[in-house]
Amino acid sequence: MNSIPPLPKNWPEQRPYIGNVNRVGATNLTNEILAVEPHAQFHFVLCSILEKLIEENHILAFEDSPIPRVAWATRNAMELRVLSRYVCQSEANLQRFQADLLTSGATTLRSVKRPNSAAPIKPNRRNRVAHKKRDCASMELLSAAL
C-alpha cells in the first residue's frame, strides 16, 4: 500500500483529502474481505455496509450539500459503524441483523404499498375534463379507422 501524503493545512483541502483516504480504505477493506475463501454471508453483509459507508462518505467529503443532508449522512455513517461492529462480534449477531433487516424491509414495503392501493381515487373537475377529452380523441381515431 502506498504511503499517505501529509494532511493539508486548511479545511477546504482537508475535506476531499479525508474523503479520498476513507474511500481508499473502505475499498481496500472490501477487497480484503472478498479475498477470503470460501465466501460466507458475513462477507457480503459487511461489504454491503462498507458500500453504503462509501456513499455516505461521498456526501460528506465531496458534495456541497445542505446541512440536513450532511447531518443525515453523518448519522448514517455512525450507524453503519455500530452495525459493522455488531455484525463482527458473532454469528448470532449476524443472523439477528439479517432477520431484523428482512423484517424491517418487508414491513416498510407493506406500509408503502397499503396506502397507495387502498386510497380511493377521488375524481375532480380537471380529471373529468381530461378524461372526456381523451375519450373524444379515442373515438375520433376509432371512427377514422373505420
Question: What are the boundaries of each domain within the chain?
Answer: 11-145
Per-residue model confidence (pLDDT) at position 16: 86
Task: Produce one character per residue of 96-123: b if its CB has 16 or more CB atoms within 10 Å, e if not.
Answer: ebeeeeeeeeeeeeeeeeeeeeeeeeee
pLDDT of residue 145: 46
* Global pTM value: 0.56
DSSP-derived 3-state class of residue 5: coil
Per-10-residue mean pLDDT of the chain, 146 residues long, equals: 76 84 84 81 84 85 82 84 85 87 68 52 52 51 48
> Both ends of the chain: CA-CA distance in Å?
75
